[in-house]
Amino acid sequence: MSQFSYKDGVLHAEGASLTAIAEQFGTPTYVYSKAALLSNFAAYADACAGRDALVCYAMKANSNLAILDLLARQGAGFDIVSGGELLRVLAAGGDPGKVIFSGVGKSVDEMRLALSHDILCFNVESIPELHRLNEVAGSMGKKARISLRVNPNVDAKTHPYIATGLKANKFGVAFDDALDTYRTAAKLPHLDVSGIDCHIGSQLLDDAPLLEALDRLIELIDQLGAEGIELHHLDMGGGIGIDYRDADDAAPVPVGTYLGRVFARIDAWRAERHNGKPIKVIFEPGRSIVGDTGVLLTKVEFLKHGEEKNFCIVDAAMNDMARPALYQAWMDMQPVVQGSAAAAEFDVVGPICESGDWLARDRSLAVAAGDLLVMHTAGAYGMTMASNYNTRGRAAEVIVDGDTVHLVRQREKPEDLYALESVIK
């Protein structure tokens, strides 16, 4: 059940009126539901109950400290892609022993930071990275636990910008090169070969490509085992999508269904070919944990009627929510207060000086200047992709817990944006 619903004609987040939130905190503001967040994580945790499994939240989706803290308290691990994200995990009280470090361009300083906190594993994505990590670990007198991110060349059938598992993508080690790369890794003295990882893309509504990738990983694990390279964990990555459109459109596979199929496939493999040897399973969900937990609350500044288009100009913009401009993403828009005004068709646009600054196109909306709108399913890849283009401060963020509203990130002021700059004297 959605935690965002109308009560007496006013949209609420749990028990809090979005009108009241706008009055207290201004707009644009990201509003998250604590109940929705915990429910989404519980879907993964419940499906993993009784298994040797770990859910590592992919924090690039939303890295607010309050969200990380809430998930850490539920036992979540974290999938990071930078040293800065590791510092966020630590600041939020997360366990570095449950951290997976992904990404194609890890620096020496980032490797040192991660090794100094004894993270669970590095997902290595190239042979040069293997050698760099081996050298860094050796200089610190440590051994780095690693898995290889294997690119299985599986078509995720998603937007090309968020597909990551094809030969043409920058991510991972090519499947045909993986066996030799593992042989190289096993010979390096300061590496501990621990697992295998893949991530084929994001916003996947069908789990068939993920299960195809799993079959390819299992094939490789068997080949490695035959050579005496035993792996201790299998990391399936993330990618399960969420429902951005109406209920009539294709719905994503339920989390429990997908995880159940993964575990069934692994159980059958272990019984048939792996002699029952246990292997830990890791998942790296991001969007499916936070995507539908949040909305972007914005105010209508003007209605502009043109010869070919009507424009609903709001105070949120592409710097607040980049997904529509970047991916042509469709996200639902609704007025906060249900009224009796006649609906008209609008493009919802922001005040940034770019024609690409749009949030929604060709939407039927009954709104007037001064009204409030929300953009739904804005909890993932909203604030983490936000910028300060046009010297616009990033939005405030609040989390609603029942009828209590917590400010978890203050709105940026213009002076905050140039505080680190200086003039030449």
* Domain at 248, CATH number: 3.20.20.10
Residue closest to 401 by CA, chosen among 7, 33, 1, 2:
33
User: Which pTM does this prediction carry?
Assistant: 0.94
H or E element that contains 28: none
Q: Is 381 annotated as a binding residue?
A: yes
Q: Are residues 222 and 146 in the same domain?
A: yes
pLDDT value, residue 112: 98
Judgement on whether residues 107 and 253 belong to the same structural domain of the protein = yes
Please check whether residues 269 and 343 belong to one and the same domain: no
**96 annotated to bind ligand:** no
Which residues are marked as active site?
Answer: 353
The reported pLDDT for the residue numbered 169 is 62
| 158 CB-side CA count, 13 A | 27
Low-confidence residues of the chain: pLDDT under 50: 158-159, 161-166, 247-248
Reported as a single tens digit per residue, the pLDDT across 56-76 is: 999 999 999 999 999 999 999
Do residue 250 and residue 338 come from a single domain? no
Residue 388 belongs to a domain: yes
285 known ligand binder: yes
Omega within 30 of 0 (cis) for the link into 28? yes
Tell me what pLDDT residue 275 has: 62
For strands 280-283 and 53-58, give the pairing: parallel
Beta bridge mates, 79: 58, 100
pLDDT digit string (tens) for 262-307? 999 999 998 887 566 789 999 999 999 999 999 999 999 999 998 8
Is 272 assigned to a binding site? no
Does residue 55 belong to any structural domain of this protein?
no
**Are 377 and 238 in a shared domain?**
no
Residue 286 among known ligand-binding residues: yes
82 in any annotated domain: no
261 and 157, same domain (yes or no): yes
Alpha carbons 312 and 304: distance in angstroms, whole number: 6
Please give the residue range of the domain that contains residue 237.
103-283
Q: What pLDDT sits at residue 248?
A: 45
Instruction: State the Cα–Cα distance between residues 383 and 397, nearest whole angstrom.
Output: 9
239 annotated ligand-binding residue:
yes
Whether 79 is covered by a domain: the verdict is no
Measured from the Cβ of residue 136, the count of other Cβ atoms closer than 10 Å reads: 21
